[in-house]
Structure formats: structure tokens, C-alpha cells
């Protein structure tokens, strides 16, 4: 059986602008604790390491230190609220679907590799009418490992029917660059996502400012790989 050429995407900050709903859910949880809301603009860089880490970062802004049990409680509350409001304001980044159409026409298959929970990832993509585009949607709980552990990318590619030797990673932050590097996969960085460290400083193989640039970036990496 021939392996499919596979493009693996991060989810939050790469495929979908999820910050409004994530930060709203965080602020609901903080409000229940009597804490002030986190401004959306400054909170965008806090996203990407999962719900628990987002809550911890939100508490840190108020110099609050909670114990493990309290963080567990807040995480459950966050997920419950977020799941019910997962696509209130979240939308695919501009140009995404057109780029996927162009790449699919060239024979590429798509997968999602995220540190978000798998069921939340699928619910979000279902709500946005995007799930059908992906051969595999894998989260931090799918294999019990998270980015940048290369095993999550390896197993996501395998589940999508691909091989690492014919795959490309697309992401917006350090865990995406890290997982690609550790797995030996070329990586495209998107400049419109959520990252504390500017994506250019993480030195992805290609950097795009808009999804319309994705097909050309994929093509140039494909040509480069063929010449090595």
C-alpha cells in the first residue's frame, strides 16, 4: 500500500482562531474565583499547552498559586464550559479552506496533531464543518503523549495512512517546531498564531503570514526534499 503524502496541522492558532472562546472560558472560571478577567489580546500567547496550563497562567497573572486539587477542579469547570461554547466565536483562519482545496487537488492528505483533548478537537472541527477534511485528529490524550514528544507526530501520521518521510508539519509555536525537528519532518510556521516567542525566532523551514501562502510553501519544501 502506498503511503499518502500528509500535512499535519496544529489546531489552536494554526487552523482555527480559537482564542476568543478559550479566553472567555478562562475568564468565566476566573470570575467564579473572584478574579478579574484576562484581556484577550495579552492572553493569546498563553494558549497552546492545554487547558490546565492556560488556567495556571491565568492564575499567575494575579500572583495566585493554587494546589493540585484546586487546579483539577478549575480544569473540569473550564472544560465543561468551553465544550458548551467551543465555536461561539472561533473561526478558521482566512484562506484555510481554499488552501486545503488546492493541496487536496495535488494529492495531499491532512491530519491534526494538537495538545488539545481529542474529543474537544473533534467537537470544534465538527462545529466548523471541517472534520471531514482530516484523515486523523489526534490530541494529547489520544496516545497519552503531547508535543514536542515526536511519538505523537509519528503516530498521528501513521493513523492518517502516511509516513514521516513524506510528511510536513504546520504550526504556530514552539511545541510544533520542536515535534517536527525531533521527528525529522520539515515544518512550516504560521505568523498569525499564539506564541510567546515570535515564530520567526524558532526558525521554521518556511514561514507564512496568511493561509493563501501555504500551497506555495508546501511545494517549495517538497521540491527541496526531492533534491536532497
Q: 121: Cβ–Cβ under 8 A, 6 or more apart, which residues?
A: 11, 112, 114, 137, 139
Please say whether the beta carbons of 38 and 24 come within 8 A: no
* Residue 43: per-residue pLDDT: 82
Phi, psi (5° rounding) for residue 108? -80, 145
Strand partners, 110: 7
* Residue 226: per-residue pLDDT: 66
- Higher pLDDT pick, 52 / 224: 52
Query: Residues of the chain with pLDDT > 70: what percent?
Result: 96
- Give the domain ranges of the chain: 4-17+91-227, 19-84
What's domain 4-17+91-227's superfamily in CATH?
Answer: HAD superfamily/HAD-like (3.40.50.1000)
* Residue 64: per-residue pLDDT: 82
What's the rounded Cα separation, in Å, for the pair 93 and 134?
Answer: 16
The CA distances from residue 183 to 23, 53, 200, in Å, are: 31, 24, 20
What pLDDT digit, counting tens, does each position of 23-42 carry? 999 999 999 999 999 988 87
Query: What 3-state DSSP class applies to 28?
Result: helix
| CA 168 and chain centroid, separation | 14
pLDDT of 187 higher than 80: yes
Catalytic residues: 10
Strand partners, 112: 9, 137
What's the rounded Cα separation, in Å, for the pair 165 and 176?
Answer: 17
pLDDT of 205 higher than 90: yes
pLDDT-derived band of residue 2, with 50, 70 and 90 as boundaries?
low
Q: What is the CATH number that goes with domain 19-84?
A: 1.10.150.240
Amino acid at each position: 500500500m502506498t503511503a499518502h503524502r500528509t500535512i499535519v496541522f496544529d489546531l489552536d492558532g494554526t487552523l482555527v482562531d480559537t482564542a476568543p472562546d478559550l479566553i472567555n472560558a478562562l475568564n468565566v472560571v476566573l470570575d467564579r474565583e473572584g478574579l478579574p478577567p484576562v484581556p484577550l489580546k495579552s492572553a493569546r500567547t498563553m494558549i497552546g499547552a492545554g487547558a490546565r496550563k492556560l488556567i495556571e497562567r491565568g492564575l499567575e497573572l494575579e500572583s495566585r498559586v493554587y494546589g493540585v486539587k484546586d487546579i483539577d477542579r478549575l480544569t473540569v469547570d473550564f472544560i465543561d464550559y468551553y465544550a458548551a461554547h467551543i465555536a461561539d466565536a472561533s473561526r478558521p483562519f482566512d484562506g484555510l479552506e481554499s488552501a486545503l482545496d488546492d493541496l487536496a487537488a495535488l494529492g495531499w492528505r491532512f491530519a491534526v496533531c494538537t495538545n488539545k483533548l481529542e474529543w474537544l478537537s473533534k467537537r470544534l472541527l465538527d462545529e466548523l464543518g471541517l472534520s471531514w477534511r482530516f484523515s486523523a485528529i489526534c490530541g494529547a490524550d489520544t496516545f497519552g503523549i503531547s508535543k514536542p514528544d515526536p511519538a505523537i507526530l509519528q503516530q498521528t501520521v501513521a493513523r492518517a495512512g502516511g509516513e514521516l518521510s513524506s510528511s510536513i508539519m504546520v504550526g504556530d509555536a514552539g511545541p510544533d517546531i520542536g515535534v517536527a525537528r525531533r521527528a525529522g519532518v520539515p515544518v512550516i510556521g504560521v505568523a498569525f498564531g499564539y506564541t510567546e516567542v515570535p515564530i520567526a525566532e524558532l526558525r521554521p523551514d518556511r514561514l507564512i503570514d496568511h493561509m493563501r501562502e501555504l500551497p506555495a510553501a508546501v511545494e517549495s519544501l517538497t521540491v527541496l526534499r526531492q533534491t536532497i
